[in-house]
């Protein structure tokens, strides 16, 4: 996901025979606590994994997207954390922040805001940028291939800081939330050829994962695609009461191919370097637990435009806000039409803890 205005994924006339994925088995890591979010100071790394390098899109971006092109730098984004807009596509923390908290470190500095000194990068670097994908999407921000190129150059320019031993004790978080498919739909207007395109997206993602591994990072967590059919922009026509099943079947094809590819990668590398964070299962399990909680659909976003064509953060020519925010953002799973709230990401994080534990094996 990325720029609020960009199309995400509207697949029509999809094949209905795509296999569904099995869910994550729910075992939590008792040693991981959310207190790290408030108290982590970088001196108490969990089991030696000391740095986090992040690649991908708005589900992981903590400030790389340019202020001039994104609503994430405008109110009401960031009202929960850090209390003002910070480039995060949420009212507060996003996936990167929770993975960093799991590791017991502070969230890594966004690449765009890094200083060249060693201190600013002591917890790693976040290269993720809202709206991007593995290919060129509807935004002109650096895609994942370019992000990895930035990473390679950073390693080369700071060899004393990013040694091979240092990289080997780090984690890479790779987020792909669907912008390639949004761009595909915008350019093609239909789902014709979609199945082939899904395979090409997964193939390119796998090449990117291998490249990160070849640069020295030995623990790589990649997200499975979330249920795009449940995003508010795809459920609004159903009054936020039900997901679009056709969209989710397409998502499942992507995720099946990703699982197969990651299993092959692990067989080839012999070190079980690659781990899937199953956002699909984490989202869906949260929806099932909280369906119609307190009479409000969990699929309904907290922040919306006051009328069609407007969105969270919209203002008129006089600067008057053209959006509304729910009274309790901490009770909403979705913040805007495509992105979870901080509360939503906290629920997802809890569901992902068993998968995150695998990084330490």
CATH code, 228: 3.40.50.1110
3-state SS assignment for residue 214: helix
Confirm whether 233 is domain-assigned. Answer: yes
Give the residues of the chain that fall short of pLDDT 50. Answer: 3-44
pTM listed for this prediction: 0.88
Confirm whether 335 is domain-assigned. Answer: no
Please tell me the total count of domains within the chain.
1
Confirm whether 140 is domain-assigned. Answer: yes
Contact 91, 79 (CB under 8 A): yes
CA–CA gap between residue 43 and residue 103 (Å, rounded): 11
pLDDT at res. 115: 77
pLDDT at res. 279: 98
Contact 61, 87 (CB under 8 A): yes
Buried b (16+ CB within 10 A) or exposed e, 64-92: bbeeebbbbbbebbbbbbeeebbbbbbbb
pLDDT at res. 119: 74
Q: Is 339 annotated as catalytic?
A: yes
pLDDT at res. 295: 56
Q: Is 336 annotated as catalytic?
A: yes
Q: Are strands 109-110 and 124-126 parallel, antiparallel or unpaired?
A: parallel
Confirm whether 301 is domain-assigned. Answer: no
Q: Indicate the burial class of 60 (C-beta count within 10 angstroms; 0-12, 13-18, 19 or more).
A: buried
Instruction: Please tell me which residue in 123, 213, 254, 339 is annotated as part of the active site.
Output: 339
pLDDT at res. 118: 64
Among 341, 296, 315, 182, residue whose Cα is nearest residue 250:
182
**349: containing domain:** 36-293+345-360
Instruction: Please tell me which residue in 61, 97, 336, 337 is annotated as part of the active site.
Output: 336
Contact 77, 88 (CB under 8 A): yes
3-state SS assignment for residue 173: strand
Q: Is 43 annotated as catalytic?
A: no
Residues in CB range of 335: below 8 A, 6 or more apart: 89, 90, 91, 301, 302, 303, 312, 329, 341, 342, 344
Which residue is associated with the tokens 């006339």? 13
Confirm whether 23 is domain-assigned. Answer: no
pLDDT at res. 41: 41
Confirm whether 303 is domain-assigned. Answer: no
Instruction: Please tell me which residue in 32, 40, 50, 58 is annotated as part of the active site.
Output: 58
Confirm whether 7 is domain-assigned. Answer: no
Buried b (16+ CB within 10 A) or exposed e, 246-280: bbbbbbbbbbbbbbebbeebeeeeeeebbbbbbbb
Confirm whether 26 is domain-assigned. Answer: no
Sign of CA dihedral 141, 147, 151, 157: negative
Q: Are strands 323-325 and 303-305 parallel, antiparallel or unpaired?
A: antiparallel
Count CB neighbours of 341 within 10 A.
26
CA–CA gap between residue 300 and residue 154 (Å, rounded): 41
Contact 34, 101 (CB under 8 A): yes
Count CB neighbours of 26 within 10 A.
11
């Amino acid at each position: 996901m990325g720029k609020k205005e960009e199309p995400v994924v509207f697949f029509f006339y999809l094949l209905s025979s795509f296999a569904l994925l099995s869910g994550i088995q729910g075992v939590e890591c008792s040693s991981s606590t959310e207190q790290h979010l408030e108290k982590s100071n970088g001196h108490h790394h969990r089991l030696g994994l000391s740095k986090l390098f992040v690649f991908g899109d708005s589900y992981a971006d903590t400030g790389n997207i340019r202020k001039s092109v994104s609503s994430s730098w405008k109110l009401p984004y960031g009202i929960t954390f850090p209390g003002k807009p910070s480039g995060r596509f949420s009212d507060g923390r996003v996936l990167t922040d929770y993975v960093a908290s799991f590791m017991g470190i502070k969230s890594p500095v966004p690449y765009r805001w890094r200083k060249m000194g060693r201190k600013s990068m002591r917890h790693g670097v976040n290269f993720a940028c809202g709206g991007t994908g593995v290919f060129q999407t509807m935004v002109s921000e650096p895609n994942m291939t370019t992000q990895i190129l930035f990473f390679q150059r950073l390693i080369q320019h700071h060899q004393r800081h990013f040694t091979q031993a240092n990289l080997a004790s780090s984690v890479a978080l790779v987020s792909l939330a669907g912008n390639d498919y949004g761009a595909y739909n915008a350019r093609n207007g239909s789902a014709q050829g979609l199945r082939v395109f899904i395979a090409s997206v997964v193939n390119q993602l796998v090449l990117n994962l291998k490249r990160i591994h070849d640069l020295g990072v030995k623990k790589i967590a990649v997200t499975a695609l979330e249920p795009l059919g449940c995003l508010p922009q795809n459920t609004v026509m159903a009054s936020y009461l039900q997901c679009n099943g056709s969209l989710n079947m397409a998502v499942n094809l992507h995720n099946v191919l990703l699982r197969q590819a990651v299993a092959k990668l692990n067989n080839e590398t012999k070190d079980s370097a690659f781990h899937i964070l199953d956002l699909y299962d984490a989202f869906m399990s949260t929806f099932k637990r909280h369906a119609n909680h307190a009479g409000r659909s969990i699929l309904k976003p907290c922040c919306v435009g006051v009328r069609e064509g407007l969105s969270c953060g919209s203002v008129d020519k006089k600067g008057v806000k053209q959006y509304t925010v729910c009274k309790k953002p901490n009770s909403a799973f979705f913040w805007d039409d495509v992105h979870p709230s901080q509360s939503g990401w906290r629920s997802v994080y809890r569901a992902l803890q068993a998968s995150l534990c695998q990084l330490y094996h």
